[in-house]
Each structure stands twice: as C-alpha cells, then as structure tokens.
Chains A and B, each alone.
Chain A
Amino acid sequence: MRVVIGEDLALLRDGLTRLLEASGFEVVGAVSDAPSAAALLERDDIDVAVLDIRMPPTFTNEGLKLALAARQRRPGMPIVVLSQFVEQLYARELLESGEGGLGYLLKDRVADVDEFVAAVRQVAAGGTVLDPKVVASLLSRASAREPLARLTPREREVLRLIAQGRSNAGIAAGLFLSEKAIGKHINNIFTKLDLPMAADDNRRVLAVLAYLQAADSPTR
C-alpha cells in the first residue's frame, strides 16, 4: 500500500515512516510543509495520506485545508489527519462531504502501533475513523438530542464504535455480542436516522455525520 506523509517535526516524520514501512506500507514521500504536501497529494498513485494538521508556513490548520482540497479534487481520497488537539468543529468539516476514507486522530494514537496501523488501513479501505476523544465529547452531549434520542443506549454504543472506524466484527468483539446481533443494531440505527439505502460504507459515514450534526443542533 502506497502512503505519503506530511509532518513538520523530523522526529515524528521519521517515526511515522519507520512505523508504516515496518507494517508493510510503501512510503512514497515524506515531506515537512504544506506546499510540498500539496504537490504530493496531486499524485494519483497513492492509496492513503497521513497529514499533520499543523504545518509550515502558517502553523495553523494547513493539514485540514489540504485534506479538504485534495478530496474536492478526488472525492473519497483516503486521508488520515493527525493533530495534537482534536476539535469537533474540524471533525465536522472533514466529514461534511459525506464521503468515507477519512481519519481524524490525536497524535498520541501513534503510540499504539497496531491500532494506528489498523486505522490507516481502515481509512485506505474507505472507512471513517474518528479519535475516541472526539467521539467521547460528542457522546457526552449528544444523548439528549434529536435524532439520536431515538436510539437505545446499546445502539448509541454501537454508533460510537462505528465512528471510531470499527468493522462489524470489531464492534462485536468490543461489546461481546455476535456479529449478527451487531448487524441488526446497525440496521436499526440506519432506519432510525432515516439514512438512504446505499453502500454500507457510505451509510456508516452518514450515520457518523448525523451523529456530529445532532451534537450541533439544539432540541426544539
């Protein structure tokens, strides 16, 4: 799998390169600033990009802007955005297009190599992976709001794990339930959130999006 890396801190850039190469990725480019990262993202032969959100020249949210621009050009282009902080605001902006292939993770997650690599693979395969911290802060406030209020606690739990990018099997393992039971829960969630019939991956993203938007719209 071909990956490009945009990260300004040499220590982390080298670490990410080493880590991904050791996990079977082919790192086709590792750059330290936004313009060179933008040039790399123009290439059509990459499977996934890992971008730091804060890079030169302005050290604000270049990574986020690059990701949005690249995905406008090539919808669904798999990108993992890494950050020292996670903001619900940015998660919402990243997911707004409703396409999968997105990750938004704290840099800390790199410490758990297996999980991080799994997340990158998940994104490359078109999945959506949100940092548990984003998900947790969403959960803490979304429970009382439409349309999530219609979900049972168990269904909400399942939605939380979907947002973290888990597969059905992963969710089943996490909740000690059968995969079949999870499938049923997920179908219930799709129905309750009025999500249109579509490819399963896309509906999962839409479910997460509904989740994020519910957190934003006040109950009437």
Chain B
Amino acid sequence: MSRPVRSAIYPASVTVLRALPRNVAVQLGVGAAICLAMIVIWTGTGGYFWPRWVLFGVGVILALQIAPRLAWRLPPGRRRRLALHLALDAVIGPLEVIVWALSGGGLFWPAYPLAALTIAFALHAWLEYQRPDSHERELTSRIDVLTRSRRGALDTQAAELRRIERDLHDGAQARLVSLGMSLGLAEKLLETDPEGAAKLLAEARSSTLSALDDLRTVMQAIHPSVLADRGLPGAIEALALDVSVPVEITYDVAGYASPPIESAMYFAVAECLANVVKHSHARRATVRVEHRDGRLVAIVADDGIGGARLGFGSGLQGIADRLEAFDGGLRLRSPDGGPTTVTMEVPCELSSART
C-alpha cells in the first residue's frame, strides 16, 4: 500500500474503531465471521444469493449501536439530542432504501417514511431552538453572577480607594501641612524668640511622628508587610497576636495560594477577628485554614453572643463581595446567643513555591 492512500484511509477507520467500546468491536468481529460463514455455505449450495439478508441484519444491529454512540460523544444539551435523532434517522433512512433495493425495487415506497422522518427531525429541531437550552441557561446565570460579582468587586475597590484617599488627606497630608507651618513660623521666630522657635520645632517633630503613624496605618491597610514577608500563615499568626481575645490557629495548607487570594483571605480573616473583638464578647476564638477539594477554606469561630448578620454596608458583606470576585463565598452561622461560625472559601490551586 502506498503511503498517501494509507494515510488517508487508515486514520479515519482507526478513529472510528478507537471510538468503539470493546463489546461493539467484538460484535463487529462476530458479525463479520457469521457473514463470511453464510457466504461460504452459499458458494457450496449456490442459487439465489440469500446471505444478503444476513449481511443486512448484522449491518442494522451494528449501525444501531455505533451511530448513537458517536452522537453521544457530544457535550450534553441540545446539540447532542439532535445528533442522536439524526443518528437514528441515518440508520432507519438507508435501511428502508436498502430493503426496497433488496426486495427488487419497483415503486419507490421509502419516499413516504423518508419524508416523515425529515419532517419529524425538522419539528424536533424547531422545538429545540424554541426554548433555551439548559446548558445555555446555566451559562446565562453564570454570566449574571459574573456581572454582579465584577460590579461588586469594582464597587468595593472604588470604595477602598476613596477610603485610602480620605485617610491620606485627613491624616498624613494635614499633618505635613501643619508641619510646614510650624517650620515656617519657627524660622521666623529663630532670631526674635528662640524659645518659641524651639517649642515649634518640637511640635514639628511630633507632627512628623503622627504623620508617619498615619502613613503606616494606610500602608498596612493596603498590603500588610507581614503578609509580604511570611505569606498567609505568618500573617494570620501576627493577626492573632494583635487581638485581645485568645485565638487558636490551625493552618493546614500544603502549598501556597496566589498572592491576590492570600490577600483576600487575610483581610477576610482580619475582618472576622475584628468583629469577634468588637461585637461578640467572646472569650476565645479559633481560626482554621485548610485546602480541600480545590478550595482554600478559612473558618473563624468564636464562643460569643452571636447575632451577626450579613447586609448592605456590613463588614461581612464586604468580605462576601470580595470573595465572590474570586468565585468564592462566605457562609455565616450566628444564632442569637451564639456561637458564631464564619466559613469563607475560594477556589484555588496551590503552588509549591511562593510567587
């Protein structure tokens, strides 16, 4: 066999054969053997070529098995259903034509069933395209969620930026202005009133300290240094050290999440712990972080009075919005009287090294 021919026929047949499950392949072999046997018997007896009906029967059985299987390989939904229908028609239609041909021709009666099959298929297709596909509905609702979460994330981000701007404006900037004034005045007083100048200089120095304090607060709110240094486990440990309620930490994650996810989780846990301190009257709290089923999960629990609610403008809602932007979410269980458990999760792949 020359190579071009081989390469043209061989792949196609191999593809079909590979697509077949073993039992069908076995049937194919058995069917071929039966047909061969009948033909051998016929060559012995001669006469009317009756094995053609055997060939026909085996062919129908095999076609009925193979055609739907090929159609089944499409993704579930409208296209698969139509393909199944078409596969069935593709067996039944030729079958009738063959029966007509084998039984000696004559009036072309298969025209009627073929027309019926065509009409049925057209009707099916029309109906399928009338109502939205379930797959399509899923996609639509997914788009809705994405649109909402993207808007939520942008809103949160914009609010965050406004807050940072306001903090800088009211804090560090105001202090630097007053610092400038103190220094200017001191310069003026230097000759006439050295004592007053010294006082102003001392004031200026304390102003720089306050400005630094303000800047530090703003910087920590943007990206805490300990998160950059130590990643999520160290940062949560540091958080726990800074709250007045004893916090027990279990960190069970074998690897590193991406920095944006670590940051989102860090602020989520920070907000929860801040709530514990502010509202819960808890005596102790636990933070559990783990990675399961492809999700990074953080559970913050306390033994306080409960009654926490999600709602517009609440810190917890802010976290929920932020996590939704990562396709994650937040579940809150906080009956009146406590205890409170906040479960936050984000789908996330771990890497073996910090990025």
Contact = CB atoms under 8 A, between A and B. Distances in A.
Nearest to B205: A111
A60 B209 contact: no
Given A60-B229, A61-B229, A218-B284, A87 B208 contact: no
A87 to B, nearest CB: 5
A97 interface: no
Contact of A108 (B212, B230, B237): B212
Contacts of B216: 84-85
Contacts of A88: 238, 241-242
B252 interface: no
Contacts of B226: 85, 87, 89-90
Contacts of B205: 111-112
Nearest to B210: A108
Contact of A87 (B238, B247, B248): B238
Interface residues of A, number: 26
A86 to B, nearest CB: 9
Contacts of A107: 212
Contacts of A89: 226, 230, 234, 237-238, 241
Interface string B236-254: 0110011110111000000
Contacts of A54: 225
Contacts, number: 57
Q: What bracket does the count of chain B residues touching chain A fall in?
A: 20 to 34
B145 interface: no
Contacts of B157: none
B228 interface: yes
Interface in A101-147: 106-108, 111-112, 137, 140-141, 145
Interface of A: 54, 59-61, 83-85, 87-90, 92, 106-108, 111-112, 137, 140-141, 145, 215-219
Given A89-B230, A107-B212, 19 more contacts: A59-B228, A84-B216, A84-B225, A85-B219, A85-B226, A87-B226, A87-B238, A88-B238, A89-B237, A90-B226, A92-B241, A106-B212, A108-B209, A111-B205, A111-B209, A137-B242, A141-B244, A218-B247, A218-B248
